[in-house]
Structure 1
Amino acid sequence: MTAYPTATAVAGAPIPLEPAPPAPAPAPAPPAPSGVPLPTTGEVSGMLTRLSDAGIGYKEKADLVENGITQHEGHELDSELRKDYRDGELPYNFDVINVVQTGEGQGLANVTISGPKMPAPQTVPLQLVDQGRWVLSHDSATQLMQILAAH
């Protein structure tokens, strides 16, 4: 049996003191990067090809983009890709030049994009983020869709 400190009551009889409440648990830390090896150039190319495939709906692509794809963004993406398909602009080709680590849980892929109706190939840096597996950063996904929509 645990002995608790006591206090003396006014009448002289001891009164047990309540033990101090336990300290609150510390706030959970954000998930640490998983340490997954950087993706290969082929894996990044496959990710970008899947993201730009008009035959795959945005809900099936959400796992390719940091924090997913919102419904609004997804409907715009699907609509733009269907238009590109009808206009003969697909498929896009993604030649991933290299993939390099830029920080803890961050990477960069330099990618040359070409397509049937693009006047010239365009090379862009795209950010990757480790979320237990490598995905395209939300900003880079937005940048990529703007580039594709411009052609």
Structure 2
Amino acid sequence: MIALDDLDRALIRALAEDATLSAGALGRRFGLSQPAAWRRIKRLRKAGVFRGQRLDLDQQALGFGVTVFLGVKLATKGRLSLAEFERAVQAIPEVQTVEHVLGMYDYRLRVVARDLSDFERVLRRRIMVLPGVGGLDANVLLSEERRPGPL
């Protein structure tokens, strides 16, 4: 774990809001020279604080109007069945996240679909036939009030 000061945390927050900010823009915002801001960002990258950069896509604009969270309980548990399930579920493009969780279910999936009938198709033809699936529970996302941001 890397030791972070207040300036590091401010840089992280700024980049979490807009990853396209240049070192020069960040330097001006926080009273640093461009090289000093660049060195801090480089140190944070090298330490693994940033896992990468990605686009935040608008699913509605792309035609995906339904998001469903699926709780998946596996019929059998073991290292082999977990690995087999994870490998198979990651090949389904509609499954946006796969989270191995502790509790009532073994996995939590975030699935996007064009509409409910499209979701039903994905569920029946792709998810219910995955190796080891024993039980499912679905929750349809009605609205999302807070998007994940900086810690």
TM-score class normalised by the smaller sequence? under 0.3
Between structures 1 and 2, the one with greater helix share: 2
Considering Cα pairs closer than 8 Å and 6+ residues apart, tell me whether 1 or 2 has the greater RCO.
Answer: 2
Could you say which structure has the larger radius of gyration?
A: 1
Task: Give the TM-score normalised by the residue count of structure 1.
Answer: 0.20
Between structures 1 and 2, the one with greater strand share: 1
